[in-house]
Amino acid sequence: EIVLTQSPATLSLSPGERATLSCRASQSVSSNLAWYQQKPGQGPRLLIYDASKRATGIPARFSGSGSGTDFTLTISSLEPEDFAVYYCQQRSNWPLLFTFGPGTKVDIK
């Protein structure tokens, strides 16, 4: 089973600052990694898929990079609505399992 770890657990930043979030896989997932944003009381929202492709309607300030085992989600300049929890996610085939990282909370400093 591939395990995803995320760091840091919490990131305290001010609006306008740059956020850099990390996701590490226990073995290579190639570029098959997605990122989601979740706000309180809501389901996750797809931001990035295939490591670097923005989902429909996602602002350009969100970008993803990486391949293999190390991935980064960058928010270039934090807007007030970006303070939320962010998860990475991948799929293993044998056995079939979709797994999520534990999340990084971006909160207001």
Partner 1 sequence: QVQLQQSGPGLVKPSQTLSLTCAISGASVSSNSDSWHWIRQSPSRGLEWLGRTYHRSKWYNEYAESVKSRIIINPDTSKNRFSLQLNFVTPEDTAVYYCARISGSGKYYFDYWGQGTLVTVSS
User: Could you tell me the CA-to-CA distances from 96 to 2, 47, 90, 92 in Å, in that order?
Assistant: 11, 23, 11, 6
The answer to whether the CB of 92 falls within 8 A of the CB of 1 is: yes
Q: Would you count residue 37 as binding partner 1 (CB under 8 A)? A: no
Identify the CA nearest to 11 among candidates 60, 88, 74, 100. 74
Q: Which residues, 67 to 96, sit near partner 1 by CB under 8 A? A: 87, 89-91, 95-96
With CB under 8 A as the rule, give the number of residues binding partner 1.
23
**Beta-bridge partners for 35:** 48, 88
Count Cα neighbours of 45 within 13 Å in the Cβ-side half-sphere.
18
Q: Among residues 18 and 91, whose Cβ is nearest to partner 1? A: 91
| Given 42, 60, 80, 94, the residue binding partner 1 (CB under 8 A) | 42
Least distance in angstroms from the C-beta of 89 to partner 1 = 7
| Given 2, 22, 102, 105, the residue binding partner 1 (CB under 8 A) | 102
Q: Interface with partner 1 by CB under 8 A: which residues?
A: 32, 34, 36, 41-46, 49, 55, 87, 89-91, 95-100, 102-103
